[in-house]
A = this chain, B = another copy of it.
Amino acid sequence: MKRTRSSRRRGAHPQHTASEPRAPFILRKLSTFNVLSEAGLEQIEANADTILAETGMEFQGDPEILDIFGRAGCDVDGTRVRFAPGFCRRTITATAPAQFIQHARNPANSVQLGGEASVLCPSWGPPFVHDLDRGRRYASYRDFIDLVKLHHTLPWLHHSGGVVCEPVDLPANKRHLDMLYGHIRHSDRAFMGAFIGAERAGHAIDMARIVFGAEFMAENAVLYCVSNTNAPLVLDSHMSGALKTYARAGQPVACTPWVLTGAMSPATVAGTLAQILAETMATMTLTQLVNPGAPCLMGSFASTMSMKTGAPTFGTPEAGLLVLAAGQLARRLGVPLHTVGTLSSSKLPDAQSQQEAAWGLLMSMFAGANLINHATGWLEGGLVTSFEKTIIDHDLCGKIGRFFDGIDMSENAQAMEAIAKTGPGQHFLGSEHTQANYMSALFRPWTPDDNAFEHWRAAGEKDAGARANALWKSQLESYEDPGLDPEIDAALQEYIAARKAEKPDQDYY
């Protein structure tokens, strides 16, 4: 699993001789899976239009937005905005791009967002981290950097992500600067901007300009913002401030209702879908009114809740149906789909965590999702990033990537000569065909123990979590610095120091 990788600067092509193939993203060769009929989709779309026309959506704390909607002819009543049926769809389809590239500082790692591309991103947001040595604890910036480095070594992830954990040892009002720096310094993959508030979004854009150059950035996406609605039907100024800032800079915004059905939306899939579509369309419409043609994604982070306890639940049948239908709705809007991956409410990297994780990631991939946030590591409903689960989920990322390569129908893969030569009752282990193909024919995940019981016992009777514990540590040891131009590095550090000096530390948002 060791990769050797020459240190390189932005613009240089990668020269690593990785033993693991390292694709910049998944290009799906298989179809999507559809769960709603044409009539069902039209009904959901009509319902979303009705919600937007009759109930409308609240845009709170941001008078500029109300003005933007008003000038576009929407019905603005206080902070409530109502949309004529069809207006949002027309506005989005007129100018939002169907696909685009988010550039990484290493061009080999740039990701396509849209079409048949699927980009897998690490865990986002947890204030805690967990590993089997140190248990559950508040996350620190040290953990943040370890996670950025660990993710960078993982061949089947595609993106450095954003708040891979929340470094709560840093002041809340400044840590976004350190997080952005951590991604830029320690990984050369694409990364996300700061999501909360116009000021922090502006900092992310400033720092990206230092790395990519203002000219390049004016024409290209190099950041990524997730704008969550406060379901039902509210967008607050923290989110809209960042949204406007990124949209104006031509940077992509994933307009993502976050709902637990039964709590923030009706307890039914069809009801939740209409609400999600209404919220995401209103929010995407805002991006296009702010800057027509700015990239936006339809986002959906829809799961369920326990009707017994009110706790969020993941990997459920309804969550699967929701994301698959969301994929259909996004394709009809002609925008990429942003969604979520290996979510779990488990506290440990145990059987529950993988039943839920596998369900979630597979459903999102079958939905044709273009960016999957939280494709690794999430536990406890997003409170924890687990180092071990990161490794175990990463196997799943690799498997699903290989799966969506589809079936090789080349003459070599058809193996007709091998079958004829081997003949009935013989085995293929020693056949020329097997010898020629065994390195590449079958995907090899890292964590499973496939050995006989006796070997497994002799190796210490380790479960998958214990094996993953050894793996993340060896991966972290194998991390190789991708390098960063010292001038860029110095400029970033200078910028960060200046921003930090502007105000006192605060431990709240």
Contact = CB atoms under 8 A, between A and B. Distances in A.
Interface stretch (A182-190, A204-212, A264-272, A478-486): A264-272
A332 to B, nearest CB: 16
A216 interface: no
A229 B259 CA distance: 50
A320 B396 CA distance: 13
A316 B399 contact: yes
This chain's copy number in the assembly? 2
Interface in A426-465: 426-429, 431, 433-434, 437-439, 441-445, 447-453, 456, 461, 463-465
A168 to B, nearest CB: 16
Given A407-B270, A414-B271, A456 B419 contact: no
A36 B383 CA distance: 41
A433 B399 CA distance: 40
Is chain A's binding surface mostly helix, strand, loop or mixed?
mixed
A54 B424 CA distance: 12
A345 B261 contact: no
Nearest to A406: B35
A364 interface: no
Nearest to A414: B270
Interface in A383-417: 383, 389, 392, 395-396, 399-400, 402-403, 405-410, 412-416
Contacts of A321: 403, 406-407
Contacts of A34: 31
A381 B380 CA distance: 30
Contact of A434 (B267, B358, B392, B407): B267
A380 B317 CA distance: 28
Interface stretch (A111-119, A219-227, A349-357, A496-504): A349-357
A7 interface: no
Interface stretch (A15-23, A63-71, A143-151, A303-311): A303-311
A334 to B, nearest CB: 22
A248 interface: no
A325 interface: yes
Contact of A407 (B36, B266, B403, B419): B36
A354 B349 CA distance: 11
B345 A424 contact: no
Nearest to A366: B33
Contacts of A447: 351-352
A237 interface: no
A46 to B, nearest CB: 10
A436 to B, nearest CB: 9
A418 B275 CA distance: 11
Contact of A413 (B271, B395, B405, B425): B271
Given A407-B35, A450-B312, A351 B429 contact: no
A80 B424 contact: yes
A51 interface: yes
A37 B227 CA distance: 39
Contacts of A424: 55-58, 80, 232-234
Given A362-B359, A396-B355, A463 B350 contact: yes
Interface of A: 30-31, 33-36, 40, 43, 47, 50-51, 54-58, 80, 136, 230, 232-234, 261-271, 273-275, 304-313, 315-318, 320-321, 325, 345-359, 362, 366, 380-381, 383, 389, 392, 395-396, 399-400, 402-403, 405-410, 412-416, 418-420, 422-429, 431, 433-434, 437-439, 441-445, 447-453, 456, 461, 463-465, 468
